[in-house]
């Protein structure tokens, strides 16, 4: 397979940020023929840094379709799990997020980097030390906060009680044993206390339905009581789309409010889908990480130590919101106003 010099160089920089050293073992995990070029280039980059490296390729099969969280080909595959747990680092191109298997690999001290975006997105959103600093600052604030509130001119006003769950950071690389990250990325997030989320969220045109890879076209009002969505309404088709999609999982826990945070990657673009027209391969990291979003979501909380492992996960990045942690304002109308996380010059 032909190796592109630009790809090799970028992936070598990425693995250098991840602290890959001679003698370490970097396993590239793929399914079927997905991401073969990226997998090949990551192995070449790992080899350049003196690491042992190989590709563990598994069959995805029908039940493990992309987009269904926490259901993947490692379930019940003990030899593959043993191999992954013996690595220094796993590059995950299968999508283990929200699975018990990912938690098990991390618990063995293996750092995991998820990479499931096309090269142009990896290049566009490439992480920096400054992004890490700002994302870790956000993590520190979330760890101390007891309440998060976000509002919007469209009528959103919702409060999360915090403190029960840990906070996770995603800045696009990982060098600590057992730590997971996602290349590319750029936000921190946590989960409201069990039963401790109440209010109203109003999705507006231009907000993003990541599961469908499309923009909201018509306002949708979600009423939340004690951490669960109890009503979804709206004049247009979006409210029906969201409700029908959630109902298709036949799981009442799909109505739970999931992780909450805000985007800090100034190189990510909310309008990415409109620019590239590459919906089938374009994943959603631009949407999840764009600077100044509120990343509202529904579904599982397994990743943060909760018990909800519903397979239905909706990430709903929102624009033009205001956000406070206790009485400290972080966002004003979709702009980061906190000086420690603000970027003055954006591309």
Give CA–CA dist 175/26, Å, rounded: 12
CB 347 within 8 A of CB 267: yes
Minimum distance from residue 218 beta carbon to Fe ion (Å): 23
CB of 96 to Fe ion, least distance (A): 14
Name the minimum Å distance from CB 166 to Fe ion: 15
Smaller CB separation from Fe ion, 208 or 241:
208
Binding mask 187-206 for Fe ion (x = CB under 5 A): --------------------
Q: Output the smallest distance, CB 303 to Fe ion, in A.
A: 8
Residue 140: CB minimum distance to Fe ion, A: 21
Provide, rounded to whole angstroms, the least separation between the CB of residue 243 and Fe ion. Answer: 19
Binding mask 244-263 for Fe ion (x = CB under 5 A): --------------------
Decide whether 265 or 297 has the Cβ nearer to Fe ion. Answer: 297
Q: List the x/- string, 145-174, binding to Fe ion by CB under 5 A.
A: ------------------------------
> By C-beta, is 131 or 314 nearer to Fe ion?
314
Rounded to whole angstroms, the Cα distance separating 292 from 261 reads 10
Q: Which of residues 262-321 bind Fe ion (CB under 5 A)?
A: 297, 315
Q: In this structure, are strands 321-325 and 314-318 parallel, antiparallel, or unpaired?
A: unpaired
Closer to Fe ion by Cβ: residue 45 or 321: 321
Cα(85)–Cα(104) distance, integer angstroms: 8
Q: Which residues pair with 66 in a beta bridge?
A: none
Q: 141 near 214, Cβ under 8 Å? A: no
Could you tell me whether strands 228-233 and 25-31 are parallel, antiparallel, or unpaired per DSSP bridges? unpaired
By Cβ distance, which residue is nearest to Fe ion? Answer: 315
Q: Residue 286 belongs to what H/E stretch?
A: helix 285-289
- Nearer Cβ to Fe ion (105/295): 295
Between residues 24 and 117, which has the closer beta carbon with respect to Fe ion? 117
Residues that bind Fe ion (rule: CB under 5 A) add up to a total of: 2
CA distance 212 to 10: 30
CB of 256 to Fe ion, least distance (A): 12
If the CB atoms of residues 62 and 307 are measured against Fe ion, the closer one turns out to be: 307
Residues contacting 121, CB < 8 A, separation 6+: 184, 272, 282, 283, 285, 286
**Half-sphere exposure at residue 250, Cβ-oriented, CA atoms within 13 angstroms:** 0
The structure tokens listed for 270 are 């909310």
CA distance 319 to 334: 6
Residues near Fe ion (CB under 5 A) are 297, 315
């Amino acid at each position: 397979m032909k190796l592109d010099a630009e790809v090799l160089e970028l992936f070598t920089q990425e693995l250098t940020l991840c602290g890959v050293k001679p003698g370490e073992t970097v396993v590239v995990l793929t399914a079927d023929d997905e991401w073969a070029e990226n997998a090949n280039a990551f192995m070449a980059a790992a080899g350049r840094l003196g690491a042992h490296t190989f590709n563990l390729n598994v069959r995805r099969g029908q039940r493990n379709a992309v987009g269904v969280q926490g259901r993947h080909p490692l379930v019940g595959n003990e030899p593959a799990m043993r191999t992954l747990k013996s690595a220094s680092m796993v590059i995950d191109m299968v999508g283990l997020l929200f699975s018990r298997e990912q938690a098990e690999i991390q618990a063995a001290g293996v750092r995991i980097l998820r990479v499931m975006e096309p090269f142009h997105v990896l290049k566009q959103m490439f992480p920096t030390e400054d992004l890490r600093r700002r994302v870790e600052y956000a993590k520190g604030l979330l760890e101390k906060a007891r309440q998060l509130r976000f509002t919007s001119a469209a009528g959103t006003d919702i409060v999360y009680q915090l403190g029960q769950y840990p906070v996770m950071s995603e800045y696009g690389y990982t060098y600590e044993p057992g730590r997971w990250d996602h290349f590319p990325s750029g936000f921190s997030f946590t989960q409201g206390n069990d039963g401790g989320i109440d209010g109203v969220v109003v999705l507006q045109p231009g907000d993003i339905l990541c599961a469908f890879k499309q923009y909201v076209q018509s306002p949708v009002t979600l009423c939340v009581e004690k951490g669960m969505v109890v009503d979804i309404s709206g004049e247009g088709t979006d409210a029906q789309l969201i409700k029908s999609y959630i109902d298709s999982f036949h799981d009442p826990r799909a109505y739970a409010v999931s992780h909450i945070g805000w985007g800090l990657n100034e190189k990510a673009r909310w309008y990415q889908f409109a620019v590239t027209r590459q919906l089938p391969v374009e994943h959603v990291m631009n949407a999840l990480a764009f600077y100044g979003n509120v990343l509202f979501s529904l579904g599982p909380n397994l990743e943060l130590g909760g018990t909800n492992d519903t397979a239905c996960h909706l990430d709903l990045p929102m624009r033009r919101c205001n956000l406070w942690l206790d009485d400290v304002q972080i966002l004003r109308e979709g702009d980061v106003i906190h000086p420690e996380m603000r970027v003055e010059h954006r591309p």
